[in-house]
Structure 1
Amino acid sequence: MKITKIETIWFEAQPLKVWQQQNPKARQALPNNLWIRVHADNGMSGIGETYYLPRAVAAIVH
């Protein structure tokens, strides 16, 4: 099995003021998440979560 493709999937939080207007009693738990999807030549794929500095991790992957 060989890796054929790596994707980054970035979930960016809403701007703070927008979030506070829509959800006045809640807070955003994770303001930025970056997941990595890895594809293999046998058709399998998997998703992994990264930690800390999503822009830096995405730059390293790409």
Structure 2
Amino acid sequence: ATIQKTLLDLSKRSPYIPMFPILFLVAYTSLFYAVVSVLLLVVMGSRFYISRKIMSSGVVIIFRQ
């Protein structure tokens, strides 16, 4: 919150540097998207692994019956 406030103060103080907050926003959004994509990859990988484990255990159960 303090960083955002200082950025706002900077943009108010210097109207000829409106690019800095925009650049910060772009960097923040790109970082956010990177984190989300990594999380999605992790979730998908774990789901794939879990489904494979469930499938193998299901096959074992079928063979036991």
Q: TM-score, normalised by structure 2?
A: 0.27
Structure number with greater Rg is 2
Structure number with higher helix proportion: 2
Structure number with higher strand proportion: 1
Q: TM-score, normalised by structure 1?
A: 0.28
